[in-house]
Amino acid sequence: MKLVGVVLKDRSKKSVSIAGILKKYLDSKKIGYITIHSKVGEIDEKTKRRIPDCDLAVALGGDGTLLFASRKFSPWGIPIVGINLGGLGFITEFRESELLECMECVVGKTPAFESRMMIDVNVYRNRKKVWSSAGLNDLVISTGGISRLILLEVSSGKHLIGTYRSDGIIVATPTGSTAYSLSAGGPLLDPSMRAFVISPICPHSLGIRPMVVPSEETIRIRVISKDREINATLDGQVAFELKDADEVRVTRSEMITRLISLGKRSFYDIVREKLSWKG
């Protein structure tokens, strides 16, 4: 191992402090590192050029920091270690106290990792692609400004699911099923699955319910709302303003996020702990 990407939670003194411990460890092993703050769009060109050379990324923060790291490092197949520095974290497997233990298990070895499905999101306007991005957790289409109901026509593959009259809709990966989708009443999915969760946000009908559909299909969402402020947000961090008649397409990405795992905690262990289920 020659180079590690150290990703810090933006504006977090604690992550800076923990990064200091990590950097001392890397110095002792004569391993180089680059430092990135998880603020969207603020990475200098020199650091960007070095990202593909990294052998590992370490995200110091919470799930949001790891989601940021995923978009930056996953295009290059670089595995990520998620260190949770407090709060509710479903994706960050390791606690702060396990940082150095984890690094000892990773440096100079071939550690096991979990492959997490990602999504590609493309927006079409008048049949032309006007925006695209990739994410690990979810796509959220929702109103901005004054809260008003919007109409969204939703299809999966060749099949029309229906027209949702709601505050919006969430299309989540299995990894993202523990995030906003869960709060909106969606089901929990084992992250090893390959599927989408479609969860309406406050639907104006008791008959509309979350659905799980195969990830082999393309989810199409057509906006049918004029004079509305509507945004498409990916992983809660990257946003694009939608207009009436725009079509949003969600597909399973060819990219995956590789999360280092030492097998100490399963997905079910983490869910049981975070949701306070008694074991």
Q: Find where tokens 């969606």 sit.
A: 186
Q: Give the separation between CA 158 and CA 137, rounded to whole angstroms.
A: 24
Sign of CA dihedral 260, 262, 263, 267: negative
192, 196, 201, 207: CA torsion to nearest 10: -110
**Among 27, 44, 55, 63, which one carries the catalytic annotation?**
63
As given in the structure block, the two tokens for residue 222 are: 């057509």
Catalytic (active site) residue 63 = yes
Strand runs labelled E in 16-167:
32-37, 56-61, 80-84, 94-95, 113-125, 128-135, 138-143, 150-156, 159-166
What lies within 8 Å, CB to CB, of 71 at 6+ separation is 133, 134, 135, 136, 235, 237, 238
Between CA 153 and CA 132 the distance in angstroms is 20
Secondary structure class of 141 (helix, strand, coil): strand
Instruction: Report the C-alpha gap between 95 and 28 in whole angstroms.
Output: 22
Q: Which residues partner with 200 through β-bridges?
A: 169
Q: Which amino acid is at 241?
A: E
Phi/psi for 50 (5° steps) reads: -90, -15
Catalytic residues: 63
